[in-house]
Amino acid sequence: MDNELLKQCEQVAQVWATSEVFDDNTKNEVKAMLSNDDKSALIDSFYQTLEFGTGGLRGIMGAGTNRMNIYTVGAATQGLANYLNRNFADRDKISVVIGVDCRNNSDVYAKRVADIFAANGIYVYMFEDMRPTPEVSFAIRHLKCQSGVNITASHNPKEYNGYKAYWDDGAQVLAPHDKGIIEEVNKVRYEDVKTGGDAKYITIIGEDVDKAYIEAVKTLSIDPAVIERQKDLSIVYTPLHGAGMNMIPRSIKAWGFQNVNCVPEQMIKDGNFPTVVSPNPENAEALTLAVNLAKKINADIVMASDPDADRIAMACKDDKGEWQIVNGNQTLMIFLYYIIKNRSAKGMLQKSDFIVKTIVTTELVKKIADKYGIEMKDCYTGFKWIAREILVEEGKKKYIGGGEESFGFLAEDFTRDKDSVSACSLLAEICAWAKDQGKTLYDVLMDIYLEYGFSYNKAVNVVRPGKTGADEIKQMMENYRSNPPKELAGSPVKIIKDFKLLKSTCSCGKVCDIQMPDTSNVLQFYAEDGTKVSVRPSGTEPKIKFYIEVFAPMANVAEYNALCETADKKCTDILKSLGV
């Protein structure tokens, strides 16, 4: 054990255990850590201050500087309030939106945030109950606010909560405001946080915004006639105990679908997520109850949203009638294939239309865009970067869709964060369009592979929790940067892209600049056979992520399963090349 680190943690913890700034429950929790012979919890809770990054805060709930609690949330809010009051000093009124999801303590943190804003003279529009993350983004624009805060840890385990900060465009904060807010937050001491705000600064919102949002989402329907013909499409939906449980079924029905079947056990608001191991729709296990219901009623499609209802997951029947999970890259391909193909068929597609994907997402998307002559933009992981591309082109080009491999999709520009409400509604339309042709969603996916080639994507997360884990992840990235792989499963590496240095190096020795709006700690390796590998530390979880994509020709649907098996084995060999 690092005795110096332990000593530092104990000194900070003693302040928390004795200062009048902290309540009795917090003091008692800290005292218990101090008296425990096992100091691991103490160190993890106090070895650093939970960092307010460009995405806000996210961490395990509990007492300590490195935990989510009313004090770390309070300091973040005071810093944001200071920045807003400075940045918008010329305004008579500064206002923000506050949203929450279903997580334990979300309502406690939200009330604390509202009180602090009010104490700083900032007006608050606070949702009456949990709402989808994209509706919070929508509300900021709809109510013409300067900022917003959403209390959510998205799809993280139940022990976590988070704090997402938004700017006046409804997107998560980007430069220069991100760094400005971080500077203000870092200046705040716990005793500086203002509380006791006047209630006149706080307005509770709900149905008026709900209605406006649902009406806006409905405008995204490309083919209402096909919905009318297939209005009895059998849909199974689960919110995984979270914020989508009201708005998503409501939106799907508003589009015209009449047969929406919700998983009853998961239509209960519960931050403990009792029916799943993890509330992450990227994990097939989370869809177990939904698939079981789909089998029982012979449904056409299964769809799910995560706890804050920004991500979408789906399952469909394959050519043998077996239910299969559709992965995140396939999800994005299906959405963009449908949007581009059907906007074109209806004469709606324009040369000024564009789509966006993240750099770690499948390259097949570009092939679809190229065929129809529209632009595809690449950006960093995270929807704030997709939102930035929309903002940059606003008034010049039209955004028609974009997303990332981690089950996030955004079909509209009136919201600036990934949106499972619009995505679920659009997915229902895609299934109706397929059924209208005697096809399933699986058939649509096969059509894409037959037309554009087979692609197999595999993501591997190496989890390393705590301080030692953070140090190990940092060392892994340094090793890959200083000693990159020379081959991937036997195929020579021909291009290395380093987004921290914004340099692309070819195997011939040529070095080129990469044009991106900022740096990011991401490495990419491209092999001669087309293989693409991306490596990045997670910005919100204690893990390092590996994204692998391999390609192969596909002559007919019968080849699909064999191609997947071969590609998966190749991914295993690629990971060995990377020492994983």
Per-residue pLDDT of the chain (580 residues; tens, 9 = 90+): 578 999 999 999 999 999 999 999 999 999 999 999 999 999 999 999 998 887 789 999 999 999 999 999 999 999 999 999 999 999 999 999 999 999 999 999 999 999 999 999 999 999 999 999 999 999 999 999 999 999 999 999 999 999 999 999 999 998 899 999 999 999 999 999 999 999 999 999 999 999 999 999 999 999 999 999 999 999 999 999 999 999 999 999 999 999 999 999 999 999 999 999 999 998 999 999 999 999 999 999 999 999 999 999 999 999 999 999 999 999 999 999 999 999 999 999 999 999 999 999 999 999 999 999 999 999 999 899 999 999 999 999 999 999 999 999 999 999 999 999 999 999 999 999 999 999 999 999 999 999 999 999 999 998 887 777 788 888 899 999 999 999 999 999 999 999 999 999 999 989 999 999 999 999 999 999 999 999 999 866 678 999 999 999 999 999 999 999 999 999 999 999 998 8
Contacts of 364 by beta carbon, 8 Å cutoff, 6+ apart? 329, 333, 448, 452, 453, 455
Specify the DSSP class assigned to residue 256. T
Specify the DSSP class assigned to residue 200. G
Contact 484, 525 (CB under 8 A): yes
pTM of the prediction? 0.94
In the chain, list all ranges with CATH 3.30.310. 454-577
In the chain, list all ranges with CATH 3.40.120.10. 50-205, 213-452
Terminal-to-terminal C-alpha distance of the chain: 27
Dihedral pair phi/psi, residue 361, rounded to 5°: -95, 160
- CA dist 242 → 248, 269, 360, 378 (Å): 11, 6, 27, 31
**Partners of 253 in the β-ladder:** none
For the sheet with 353-358, list strands across it: 375-379, 353-358, 398-404, 408-410
Cis before residue 176, ω within 30 degrees of 0?
yes
Distance, CA of 364 to CA of 377 (rounded, Å): 13
How far is residue 43 CA from its own chain's centroid? 29
CATH number of 454-577: 3.30.310
Contact 293, 236 (CB under 8 A): yes
Instruction: Please confirm, yes or no, whether 154 is among the known catalytic residues.
Output: yes
Task: Please tell me the CATH superfamily of domain 213-452, with its number.
Answer: Alpha-D-Glucose-1,6-Bisphosphate, subunit A, domain 3 (3.40.120.10)
Cis before residue 279, ω within 30 degrees of 0?
no
Classified by CATH at the fold level, domain 50-205 comes out as Alpha-D-Glucose-1,6-Bisphosphate; Chain A, domain 3 (3.40.120)
For strands 523-527 and 532-537, give the pairing.
antiparallel
Distance, CA of 264 to CA of 275 (rounded, Å): 11
Nearest 5°: the CA angle 62, 67, 70 is 70
| Active-site pick, 106, 154, 425, 534 | 154
DSSP string for residues in 36-70: -S--HHHHHHHSSPPP-BTTBEEEEBSSSTTSBSH
Q: Percent helix, strand and coil across the chain, each rounded to 5? A: 40, 20, 35
Specify the DSSP class assigned to residue 173. P
Q: Return the closest-CA partner of residue 254 out of 220, 218, 230.
A: 218
Q: Return the closest-CA partner of residue 156 out of 8, 46, 55.
A: 55
Nearest 5°: the CA angle 297, 303, 306 is 135
Distance, CA of 125 to CA of 557 (rounded, Å): 52
Distance, CA of 361 to CA of 379 (rounded, Å): 10
Distance, CA of 246 to CA of 252 (rounded, Å): 11
Q: What would the two tokens of residue 395 be?
A: 């008034």
Contact 456, 360 (CB under 8 A): no
Contacts of 468 by beta carbon, 8 Å cutoff, 6+ apart? none
Contact 140, 147 (CB under 8 A): yes
267-287: b or e for each residue (b if 16 or more CB lie within 10 Å)?
Answer: bebbbebebbeebbbbeeebb
**Partners of 458 in the β-ladder:** 548
- CA dist 40 → 61, 167, 432, 471, 508 (Å): 16, 37, 54, 16, 49
Dihedral pair phi/psi, residue 73, rounded to 5°: -65, -40
**Partners of 461 in the β-ladder:** 545
**Partners of 149 in the β-ladder:** 98, 165
What 3-state class would DSSP assign to 556? coil
Q: What would the two tokens of residue 463 be?
A: 């989890």
